[in-house]
Amino acid sequence: MALYHSPLYKDALAQLEEAASVMKADPNIIDRLKKPKRAIQVSVPIRLDDGTVKTFEGYRVQHNLTLGPGKGGIRYHPDVDLSETTALAMLMTFKCALVGLPLGGAKGGVKVNPNELSRQELQGLTRRFALEIGPFVGPDKDIPAPDIGTDRQTMAWFMDTYSQIHGYASHGVVTGKPISVGGSLGREEATGRGVAYCINFAYDRMDKTIDNNTTIAIHGFGKVGMPAAVDLAEQGAKIVAVSDVSGAVYDPDGLDVLKLINWVKGRKLLKDYHGVEHITNDELLELDVDVLIPAAIDGVITKKNMKNIKARLVAEGANGPLTKEAVEYLSEKDVFIIPDILCNAGGVIVSYFEWVQGLAHFFWDIDQINKTLHNILKNAFAEVVKKSVHYKVDMKKAAMIAALAKLEAAMKLRGLFPG
């Protein structure tokens, strides 16, 4: 069955089964969590600028809605498929549960290369996709957000389409919107800022301090990697390497983060950046640094390269960047791994803040947002450490156990309908 073919889905299932075995979870609950509640596949036909019509495949998967409405991004990428979307929806379920949000796990996407479409074509694609999945989403049903290949503008088009259909401005239907149409302060940098917070919590746990001797490499200098680099550099850390699809740049004395951000935001590739050493993405992962942040895509640290990883702390900024084998091997080597469902949860936490603000029509200042984000992540981090010590497992398993315990309790309390 196509649902089960992706390595990310198999990995998510393996994590679930392992956590369930350790904590002796109810097998009936686990069986329900192995399958999505709802998986929607739609056709998305649009008229291209040359007058021809092209049809794209779109998906929206709602994995589990026990804790509340679905929450999860919309991805525009050529590799989007049902299996990957389901895996990401499952991870969102556990992520929301872990950090205590009243939200379920969902994910969506369209199989398309957004770079090959004009702005007008992208708008047409987004509006038609919003129309097709419209019956299944909404402020009380499922709340999409940006992901790879989508941004604030995408969310504004999606919100407007939903609002036009329903006849009123619906601020709560999506998050990650521009401020002027109901977005939240701090949302754009939230995931990266959360990564930086979690690295600080881990350093406290390891009795270390981030200073100008701390070296950091970031695989994926985008929506997550950039704000994480800024926050950590402001604390004095040396960001010695960053990468994009074209390759990586390296300077053992530390890169100028703000110059690099201006370069990338000017739609320039890192391979064309001057005054630094150029290395491959694989070489970046294997650098001898204190902290490694894989913040691009899943499955970059695997059985093939796990023995070459030299960092003592790995912060999973992306979803599933380490395979199960890599996590187990590195954990045995005393590498501290901050699991993805904790490390990159900053984005969904501030998305939750945005959703709440939209429903209340009352907006918070940036200090309140950052303080509340910090507190939620700090409490979740402490809970994962507690589970790690109690069950004598690595942080990855501990995070899944902590999330699963909350889901199991809620699903038992709600019961099964019909009984």
CATH number, span 2-171? 3.40.50.10860
How does pLDDT run across 126-147, given as a tens digit for each residue? 999 999 999 999 999 999 999 9
Strand order of the β-sheet with 70-77 is 38-47, 53-64, 104-111, 70-77, 142-146
CA distance 113 to 167: 32
In angstroms, how far is CA 388 from the centroid of its own chain?
22
Q: What is the pLDDT of residue 1?
A: 47
* Residue 16 backbone phi and psi in degrees, to 5: -60, -50
- Residues annotated as catalytic are 107
The residue among 75, 139, 151 whose CA lies nearest residue 113 is 75
Q: What is the mean pLDDT of the chain?
A: 94
CA distance 368 to 231: 18
Domain 190-338 adopts which CATH fold?
Answer: Rossmann fold (3.40.50)
Element (H, E) at 356: helix 346-360
Q: What is the pLDDT of residue 266?
A: 82
Q: What is the pLDDT of residue 4?
A: 63
Q: What is the pLDDT of residue 9?
A: 86
Q: Which residues of 332-342 are buried (b: 16+ CB within 10 A; e: fewer)?
A: eeebbbbbbbb
Strand order of the β-sheet with 313-315 is 277-279, 247-250, 238-244, 215-219, 291-294, 313-315, 336-338
Report yes or no: 61 and 131 within 8 Å, Cβ to Cβ: no
How does pLDDT run across 337-394, given as a tens digit for each residue? 999 999 999 999 999 999 999 999 999 999 999 999 999 999 999 999 999 999 999 9
How does pLDDT run across 218-233, given as a tens digit for each residue? 999 988 999 999 999 9
The full DSSP string for 36-53 is: -SEEEEEEEEEE-TTS-E
Token pair 């680099």: residue = 229
Mean pLDDT, rounded, for 300-318: 95
pLDDT at 278 exceeding the cut of 90: yes
CA distance 405 to 94: 10
Sequence-distant (6+) residues with CB within 8 A of 379 are 100
pLDDT at 159 exceeding the cut of 90: yes
How does pLDDT run across 169-186, given as a tens digit for each residue? 999 999 999 999 999 999
The residue among 342, 410, 363 whose CA lies nearest residue 182 is 363
**2-171 against 190-338: fold identical:** yes
Q: Sketch the domain layout of the chain as residue ranges.
A: 2-171, 190-338
In eight-state DSSP terms, residue 312 is S
How does pLDDT run across 5-16, given as a tens digit for each residue? 778 888 888 889
- Full-model pTM: 0.92
In eight-state DSSP terms, residue 112 is S
